[in-house]
A and B are shown apart, each in its own frame.
Chain A
């Protein structure tokens, strides 16, 4: 059973997995409350690998979406640049 590899360099997706992820995340974006199991059923044998990916996608949508609603004028890219620069500066 495939799972998400621990090493980032080993992350690979089949075309079907990429399409399933893309369709699921756009359904989340459209607030359609997609059924995670239905999407996972499109890629038999990939559930163990893709379920945590889709759950993390939901988490990200929820948190970044909340941030966008609460701080619509804040440029997220700039915030992350600031975080990176400050980290470099120590």
Chain B
């Protein structure tokens, strides 16, 4: 399948975006590697590039260049944006753990918010498989506990238990969700 057919299929809804994701994820990562040295940061920027591409796929014009070139430019642009943001002073661990009131406006707040989100996503990604899948089914995919239980072939009580345990594990990692809620 050519890149043009891929884009057309995604826009029509006949091809899943994950096909484009799989095709380009390694290339995007290698393009930004010289700029984003840290492997974890590089993963995050790569995912950001590809989700951004999905959002803007409708603006891609084959007459102006290949999909590869379009993605390459986007990847470089977002990598530079990421590097600019990295120059803002980092948030202290005290603040991360909610021991001080977070700032409420300005670039520092935006940076802090980005850090909080990064920590949350990282924590979700680190959960054991049963808890992670159950939380994704319920909170991301919108299934009720009964529906999620049926999909996973477990009882409703087990589904809720995995959900509660997953949340408890996140809570241990994130410490102070109440302050996060105020920031978010």
A interface residues, Cβ below 8 angstroms from B:
4, 6, 8, 11, 13, 15, 17-19, 21-22, 25-26, 29, 52-53, 55-65, 67-68, 70-71, 73-80, 82-84, 86-87, 90
Q: How many angstroms from the CA of A75 to the CA of B18 in the assembled complex?
A: 7
CB proximity of A36 to chain B, nearest CB, Å: 10
A22 in contact with B163 (CB, 8 Å) = yes
Give the dominant DSSP class at B's interface.
Answer: helix
A61 in contact with B16 (CB, 8 Å) = no
Count of CB-CB pairs between chains A and B under 8 Å: 134
Give the dominant DSSP class at A's interface.
Answer: helix
Q: Which A residues touch B17, using CB under 8 A?
A: 73-75
Q: Which A residues touch B29, using CB under 8 A?
A: 86
B47 in contact with A79 (CB, 8 Å) = yes
Q: Which B residues touch A26, using CB under 8 A?
A: 144-145
Q: Does B6 interact with chain A (Cβ within 8 Å)?
A: no
Could you say which of B68-76, B86-94, B176-184 contacts chain A?
B176-184
